[in-house]
Amino acid sequence: PKEIFLKDYKSPDYYFDTVDLRFSLGEEKTIVASKITVFPRVEGSSAPLVLNGVDQKLISIKVDGKELKEGDYHLDSRHLTLQSPPQGKFTLEIDTEIQPQNNTSLEGLYKSSGNFCTQCEAEGFRKITFYQDRPDIMAKYTCRIEADKLLYPVLLSNGNLIEQGTLEGGKHYAVWEDPFKKPCYLFALVAGQLESRDDTFVTRSGRKVALRIWTPAEDVPKTAHAMYSLKAAMKWDEDVFGLEYDLDLFNVVAVPDFNMGAMENKSLNIFNSKLVLASPETASDADYAAILGVIGHEYFHNWTGNRVTCRDWFQLSLKEGLTVFRDQEFSSDMGSRTVKRIADVSKLRNYQFPQDAGPMAHPVRPHSYIKMDNFYTVTVYEKGAEVVRMYKTLLGTQGFRKGMDLYFKRHDGQAVTCEDFFAAMKDANGADFANFLQWYSQAGTPVVKVTSSYNAEAHTFSLKFSQEVPPTPGQLVKEPMFIPVAVGLLDSSGKDMPLSSVYHDGTLQSVASISQPVLSTVLRVTKKEEEFVFCDIFERPIPSLLRGYSAPVRLESDLSDNDLFFLLAHDSDEFNRWESGQVLARKLMLSLVADFQQSKPLTLNPKFVQGLKSILCDTSLDKEFIAKAITLPGEGEIMDMMEVADPDAVHAVRTFIRKELASQLKSEFLSTVENNRSSEEYVFDHPNMARRALKNTALAYLGSLEDSEMTELALHEYKTATNMTDQFAALSAISQNPGKTRDDVLADFYTKWQHNYLVVNKWFALQAMSNIPGNVENVRKLLNHPAFDLRNPNKVYSLIGGFCGSPVNFHAKDGSGYKFLGEIVLQLDKLNPQVASRMVSAFSRWRRFDESRQTLAKQQLETIMSANGLSENVFEIASKSLA
């Protein structure tokens, strides 16, 4: 396989002006006719025109109306090349045949539950027709769709519907025209039996936009929350960024077979139905929140991604990091900012940090790829969003908005780079961003060490920083990064001290403001080592560092446990209150892991129990914040901090602490459950979600006690639940412990929900993730369950992905978990390489484990590598994992 490098980027020799597509959709074959107007980048150029194309049968090619003969072009399995196209502008017409009904890769044109749909990002358009499949080719499209009227009554594509009618032979057609130039990855087509929920949104300049969410008829009632989310997102983008929708129609289609979450095709977003369909009985609070975020995300792409797109795929974070940042802010404004920040940082730590420390580590803007699909990663998305957040931290809300405005003013209708975004932020504010661009090119999570000292005579408080970016594949030596560190100083009563000035780099900088006391400031840490000295500090403070998690780094400070308990109790920065509890929990877990490994008895520090108890009982706190603050760091996070990851020890320790907390705080947990029930109708709002989150976290703790009284309680919660959040939480609490009750309740749940595939996926995932020893056998059995289907990505993510998330069973000492995954990857690769490569990624950190596990995992990777016909997707992940 060929590796593609950012440094080799070249502008295309030809651009496309207009693209007319005609689809004749059929059961046996689909005919695609394209007519493209082509013009050279440089007048008079005689460069060959190279088009991408795979899995298509070429029927004919015409240039300026004249059919080409075989020698006039060159065709191989990936390209169609016109060696000497005409000079100047010309038309190119190509007819091809494709077979969407056999396309299990779910990219290009394919069928999902009998309906036709498309997925073109990143490089799926080349499975539809021959084209320069790269995002810097932006053209205006029309699309005519012809199909059987009974089988496919609804025909959709991008833009406006300009014509429709009936044809002979029971067929009909529709013609769509998109007035905006777009790259081909934003092309979409849907044809099928669908019905819509319709609504309207009037933009602030008075445009009346028709909103339609399409699903099979029986699911339309479950689209109310998606419609609410869409309207909220449209309003939010106007209020916060001044960005309006630009067409009269916005369609969303939900399909059950989809490789990722959703796709922002211009005016025709296609969604995984998991992220559209919700009712209180069938979807949990987490599902509702995910729908809000992803509907927002795809809508926000209309400006950040569609109107201004990426020059090449290396720039993916330009649209994805920025749009994730925008959806995070949207969700924060719709709910609790602190809780959302905690959730986002936890995701970063649990998924992105391990990636940044493993063989697939890559910068936010990767330098190379074999298969672009493999780079839709937590690094590009979540770390990319942190990079955008840092601009805002440095510039403030208004400065950031100025930068965004300039970005759109300069680049509307263009395909641009991360430097263009950087330049807009910098120029709009006349800002000094020092070495900030390193965030795009250096992989690895910076480790920032901080030591503090107080000088009582000089009334100064010093913070000394040092930073190190660990080596990553292909990048052994790193430069220092520009790290914005938000800091506040707490006095002995727990209040923020007013800050006056900071001495740094030989100059005294005032941080005070005339209008109000400054209680937090952002330090610009840019060197390998440097010191900041706060002046006019009249008592020894306790520093609250990296407030709001102002940079994606691992922070190591010299704060004592007492300092951390103090911050947990008092910090005005709620994020850092949570963080202090997490730092304490991580330290505690790591020291108990060491005890466990040395067969020492495990005991729980009473101060830790007391700290969590006071949070749990503090009625002034947000309930969801409490739920997060009493939740221990995940097992992956702890394994990530160990020299040699020991899944059994980490699991044993986490289980021990949970049980111990449950038994010592049993009465508090019981009253938490009692006091947070509600008989009222399900409402998706922050207070109600927070209440449910706290109740269910308490219930999960109680469930870990394995006593019959608590099992009865959970059973009661299960039976009386009026919504999926509570019902599934009770089911999860019960299924922590093996036995008849567990088996009975799992069976009952399936019987109840067998007709709802999205709920059945939850049922698969819960069993797959179980830490019950030897669970691999149960998961193997579930592969043959009638509701399971290896061709459906959601089912694979639930069952196989869920299983790989169980440290105990996936990393079983006998290698049974690794063997299971190895076999599945090879089967999946034949059907859907994108999904297979996501699954094979679970092996990528095999070197983190002991020798025996290393040998077993490596064997599986080697077996995969030696398979015939391996996809490039799986090859890239498996080979880089072994390198």
Of 376 and 461, which CB lies nearer to ligand HT7 in the complex structure? 376
Which tokens go with 493?
A: 């009563």
- Least distance between Zn ion and beta carbon 297 (Å): 5
Per-residue tokens: 403: 């930068």
Q: In the structure, how many helices (H) and strands (E) does the chain have?
A: 29, 33
Looking at 298, 320, 574, 637, which residue is catalytic?
298
**Residue 298 annotated as catalytic:** yes
Binds ligand HT7 (CB under 6 A): choice among 297, 349, 389, 570: 297
Asked if 271 and 255 touch (Cβ cutoff 8 Å), the reply is yes
Cβ proximity to Zn ion, 287 vs 320, nearer residue: 320
Residues 306-365 that bind ligand HT7 (CB under 6 A): 320
Binding mask 93-132 for ligand HT7 (x = CB under 6 A): --------------------------x-xx----------
Residue 834 contacts which entry, Zn ion, ligand HT7, none (Cβ below 5-8 A, type-dependent) = ligand HT7
Nearer to ligand HT7, 297 or 762 (CB): 297
Specify the residue, 264 or 344, whose C-beta has the smaller distance to ligand HT7.
Answer: 264
Residue 300 CB, nearest approach to Zn ion (Å): 8
Instruction: Kindly indicate which of the ranges 295-303, 345-353, 433-441, 604-612 contains the residues binding ligand HT7, using the contact rule CB under 6 A.
Output: 295-303
- For residue 313, give the DSSP letter: G
Print burial letters for 795-810: b (CB count within 10 Å at least 16), e (below 16): bbbbbbbbbbbbbbbb
Q: Please identify which residue in the block is written with the tokens 């999860």.
A: 732
* Host H or E run for residue 490: strand 483-490
Q: Which residues, numbered 710-739, are part of the site for Zn ion (CB under 5 A)?
A: none
For the CB of residue 305, give the shortest distance to ligand HT7 in the complex, in Å. 7
Residue 127 touches which of Zn ion, ligand HT7, none (Cβ within 5-8 Å per kind): none
> CA torsion angle for 160, 166, 169, 171 (degrees, to 10)?
20
- Secondary structure (DSSP) of 665-695: THHHHHHHHHHT---SPP--SHHHHHHHHHH
Contact 739, 709 (CB under 8 A): no
Question: Does the protein bind ligand HT7 through residue 573 (CB under 6 A)?
Answer: no
Considering the complex, what minimum distance in angstroms separates the CB of residue 790 from ligand HT7?
Answer: 18
Tokens of 380: 């590009």
Phi and psi at residue 261, to the nearest 5°: -80, -45
Of residues 373 and 829, the one with the C-beta less far from ligand HT7 = 373
User: Which region among 165-173, 293-301, 390-398, 462-470 touches ligand HT7 (by CB under 6 A)?
Assistant: 293-301
Q: Give dist(CA 617, CA 609) in Å, integer.
A: 12
Does 264 contact ligand HT7 by CB under 6 A? yes
User: Residue from 178, 257, 329, 373 that binds ligand HT7 (CB under 6 A)?
Assistant: 373
Of all residues in the shown chain, the one whose CB is closest to ligand HT7 is 260
Q: Of the candidates 465, 338, 328, 319, which has an alpha carbon nearest to the alpha carbon of residue 389?
A: 328
- Residue 600, H or E segment: none
Q: Does 369 bind ligand HT7 (CB under 6 A)?
A: no
Give CA–CA dist 325/343, Å, rounded.
13
Amino acid at 469: V
For residue 400, the minimal CB distance to ligand HT7 (Å) is: 21
- Asked if residue 196 binds ligand HT7 (CB under 6 A), the reply is no
Is residue 260 at the binding interface for ligand HT7, with CB under 6 A as the rule? yes
* 806/873 with CB nearer ligand HT7: 873
Q: How far is the CB of 120 from ligand HT7 (least distance, A)?
A: 9
Scanning residues 507 to 536, which ones bind ligand HT7 (CB under 6 A)?
Answer: none
Closest CA to 592 of 634, 638, 636: 638
* Residue with smaller CB distance to ligand HT7, 185 or 749: 185
Select from ligand HT7, Zn ion, none the partner in contact with residue 373, using the beta carbon and a kind-dependent cut-off of 5 to 8 Å: ligand HT7
For ligand HT7, which is the closer residue by CB, 302 or 582? 302
Task: Answer with the entry of Zn ion, ligand HT7, none that 136 interacts with (C-beta below 5 to 8 A by kind).
Answer: none
Q: By CB under 6 A, which span of 10-18, 261-269, 487-495, 697-705 interacts with ligand HT7?
A: 261-269
Contact string 318-337 vs Zn ion (x = CB under 5 A): --x--x--------------
Tell me how far apart the alpha carbons of residues 355 and 377 are, in angstroms, rounded to a whole number. Answer: 9
Enter the DSSP assignment of 631.
S
Q: What distance in Å separates the CA atoms of residue 38 and residue 300, rounded to the nearest whole number?
A: 31
Amino acid in the structure at residue 678: S
- Residue spans of alpha helices (H) in 414-492: 418-429, 438-441
- Amino acid in position 719: K
Stretch of 259-267, 276-284, 555-563, 805-813 contacting ligand HT7, by CB under 6 A: 259-267
Rg of the chain, C-alpha, whole Å: 28
- Close Cβ partners of 814 (under 8 Å, ≥ 6 residues apart): none
Residue list 828-857, contact with ligand HT7 (CB under 6 A): 834
Question: What does the per-residue mask of binding to Zn ion show for 4-43, with x meaning CB under 5 A?
Answer: ----------------------------------------
C-alpha pair distances (Å), 474 with each of 351, 366, 368, 443, 861: 21, 11, 11, 10, 21
CA distance 84 to 207: 47
Q: SS3 for 378?
A: helix
Q: Which of ligand HT7, Zn ion, none does residue 326 bind (CB under 5 to 8 Å by kind)?
A: none
> Minimum distance between the CB of residue 373 and ligand HT7, rounded to whole angstroms?
5
Structure-token pair, residue 525: 């840490």
The nearer residue to ligand HT7, 301 or 340, going by C-beta atoms, is: 301
Stretch near Zn ion under the rule CB under 5 A, chosen from 167-175, 316-324, 768-776, 799-807? 316-324
* Contact assessment for residue 120 and residue 109, using Cβ atoms and an 8 Å cutoff: no
**Site size for ligand HT7, by CB under 6 A?**
15
Distance in Å, CB of 825 to ligand HT7, minimum = 18
Name the phi and psi angles at 511, rounded to 5. -115, -5
DSSP summary character for residue 379: I
At closest approach, how far in Å is the CB of 376 from ligand HT7?
5
Shortest distance (Å) from residue 297 CB to ligand HT7:
6
Q: Is 259 in the site for ligand HT7 (CB under 6 A)?
A: yes
Asked if residues 45 and 89 have their Cβ atoms less than 8 Å apart, the reply is: no
Tell me which residue has tokens 């240039």.
Answer: 63
274 binds, among Zn ion, ligand HT7, none (CB under 5 to 8 A by kind): none
Q: What is the binding site for Zn ion (CB under 5 A)?
A: 320, 323
Q: What is the binding site for ligand HT7 (CB under 6 A)?
A: 119, 121-122, 259-260, 262-264, 297-298, 301, 320, 373, 376, 834
